[in-house]
A and B are shown apart, each in its own frame.
Chain A
Amino acid sequence: MAGSSRVWVLGAIVVAVLVPLLQPVFPDVVSNYRLFLISTMIIASIAVLGLNLLTGFNGQFSLGHGAFYAVGAYTAAILMDKMNVPYWATIPAAAIVCFIVGYLFGLPALKLEGHYLALATFALALAVPQILKYKWLEGLTGGVQGIVLMKPEVPFGLPLSEDQWLYYFCLVVMIVLFWAAANMLNSRSGRAMMAIRDQYMAADTMGIDTALYKTVTFGISAAYTGIAGALSASAIAFVAPDSFGIFLSIKFLIGLVVGGMGSLLGSVLGGVFYVLVDNSAQSLTQFIRNDLGLPFDLSAYTVFGVLLIAIIYLMPMGIAGGLFIAYRKLRGARA
């Protein structure tokens, strides 16, 4: 990592760690609800990072990452509900399970390109809720009714609220995962991954074991998103097939593109956007409806669609891309 960006990152981490501790001082600004919201953003960022590793850095299309998210969430839920596994242990468990699932899926995916891979992943995302409702698995998965869980308890009697603890837990997981991803991307493996994305044939010719890289990347990507899923099971304290429909995968894709593909910062921005866009579309809609009289009823979904198109129009490379271009322009202007 370049020196200046390292400073930024460390600074961000310090802020992220200290601000929630100010809750007793500013209970309305640093509210439990806000911390919960930020936790969901962290979880979404991890999920988008998973997708980014596969699509942004390795060039394999996935329209079905919601499937891995669901597998991770249910793994965590079943472990917590049926085997009384503590919530923190479900994270590595979900990672392992999802890695295996991702790797296994990556094997036939080797043969599929572009749109075909997109369809296959799309099919996977559709199949998972069906499998969760499958008759013979109902005993485990709770079928259509899902599984109700408990939120993680604050350990060692620390003077934190549940939401603060959840926030720190998610933050730690996020830092570890992003750090691991950054290291991997900066290493030979990372360069190999990106070479496969950019110039597949050249990479192959140069002796990179493309099949191995592609399948392992699939596995790692699935593991990341699966961890996000497991975290969400603890955060929401409920899993049900209805939570993991096809729109989930589409939203991750939107987060990926809007945040910025092939960029770690983009993953964070994508996660934030993913959570915020719904709320902002709704607020914007309320504002338009109440303050500008319209002959018909404007729906938040319409505003959401318009927002998406507007963002892509203004920043086709995503927000991270847009920021980069702006930064470059400023740099250029100064010289």
Chain B
Amino acid sequence: MEQFLQQIASGLANGAIYACVALALVMIYVSTDHINFAQGEMAMFSTYISWQLMSWGMSFWVAFALTVIISFAMGVLIERLILRPLHNAPVLSIIVVFIGLLAIFNSMAGAFWSYLIKEFPSPFPKSDFGIAGVIGPHQLGVVLITLIVLGLLFVFFRYTPLGLAMRAAAQNPQSARLVGVRVDWMLALGWGLAASVGAVAGIMVAHIVYLEPNMMGGILLYAFASALVGGISNPAGAVAGGFIVGILENMVAYAGNQLEKATGIYIIGNGEKLTVALIIVIFVLTVKPAGLFGRVVVKRV
């Protein structure tokens, strides 16, 4: 029983990581209709910036705030300089551009900060209240921060005129232009926001997985799966999806573990948990093609 609880807790903790990064992915999608493969590397790069600021003496939260602002600027710049000239290009061409960005961010991080893993501090007090080992204060903190960011985004999109303008620009650029929305700047804003959310995700995650240039590689895939499971256009869905994928992954390993204990035969285990989790995700998608909480878009012919 203890292991079961620990696996759930660990799944929730991992899920928080996926949820955070999935949120950034959904942000980009909602604002620009693209899936940004470079999201993970951008988040990692932002985290390194934060690390650098802290090593120059700034406190955690000051560095955090500064990094969010810098990342926002970075996101806007990328959209304006690199993506704007290509907005008529086919979707797959844009994906290749993202891959190029991925390569650049990844290798530049390695060039500037070396490939040695770095410890990343946690802003949350190191106390023992988290039932020792089941879930620690940092992981609870990650969940908290993710929910706060989600809340802020929700309020922003629903209740502010700027948020409304952004949604309009993404869903129906022509009509939005007619109403006076500066669509181009909305896209840039979307990117800036997504980059900031990514930075938050990276900073939260780095403490758990250690900061290094390749830290986001594995996570990005899980985040991708989470976003799709929850519904790619639904930020809350993405967060929920993250937790679902995190717990699911651990449950598969746990189930395999128990099976092996009971029968002595190894059928599935840690090597297969990713595969099985993905199979389940795909199965969910075939049953509910827009994700668990997504809206099915009905096209009129």
Are A309 and B266 in contact (CB-based, < 8 A)? no
Are B225 and A308 in contact (CB-based, < 8 A)? no
Does chain B have a CB within 8 A of A256? yes
Does chain B have a CB within 8 A of A304? yes
Stretch at the interface among A14-22, A76-84, A310-318: A310-318
Interface size on A, residues (CB 8 A): 46
Are B228 and A305 in contact (CB-based, < 8 A)? no
Of B104, B224, B281, the residue contacting A306 (CB under 8 A) is B104
Of B90, B103, B275, the residue contacting A308 (CB under 8 A) is B103
Of B103, B225, B281, the residue contacting A301 (CB under 8 A) is B103
Are B275 and A127 in contact (CB-based, < 8 A)? yes
Does chain B have a CB within 8 A of A150? no
Query: With A and B bound together, what is the CA distance between A123 and B285 in angstroms?
Result: 13
* Minimal beta-carbon separation of A192 from chain B (angstroms): 19
Are B92 and A253 in contact (CB-based, < 8 A)? yes
Of A115, A261, A306, A313, the residue contacting B228 (CB under 8 A) is A115
Does chain B have a CB within 8 A of A112? yes
Number of A-B residue pairs with CB-CB distance less than 8 Å in the complex they form: 129
Query: With A and B bound together, what is the CA distance between A251 and B80 in angstroms?
Result: 26
Are B97 and A312 in contact (CB-based, < 8 A)? yes
Does chain B have a CB within 8 A of A279? no
With A298-B111, A309-B100 already in contact, the answer to whether A123 and B282 are too (CB < 8 A) is: yes
With A126-B221, A257-B96, A301-B106 already in contact, the answer to whether A316 and B90 are too (CB < 8 A) is: yes
Are A131 and B275 in contact (CB-based, < 8 A)? yes
Of A108, A127, A261, A306, the residue contacting B92 (CB under 8 A) is A261
Does chain A have a CB within 8 A of B57? no
With A299-B107, A308-B103 already in contact, the answer to whether A123 and B225 are too (CB < 8 A) is: yes
Are B111 and A299 in contact (CB-based, < 8 A)? yes
Known: A111-B289, A257-B92, A318-B93. 9 other contacts (CB 8 A): A111-B286, A119-B228, A122-B221, A127-B279, A253-B99, A261-B92, A305-B101, A309-B82, A309-B101
Q: List chain A positions with a Cβ less than 8 A from chain B.
A: 55, 61, 108, 111-113, 115-116, 118-120, 122-123, 126-127, 130-131, 133-135, 201, 246, 250, 253-254, 256-258, 261, 296-299, 301-302, 304-309, 312-313, 316-318
Q: List chain B positions with a Cβ less than 8 A from chain A.
A: 35, 82, 85-86, 88-90, 92-97, 99-104, 106-108, 110-112, 221, 224-225, 228, 232, 266, 271-272, 274-275, 278-279, 281-282, 285-286, 289, 301
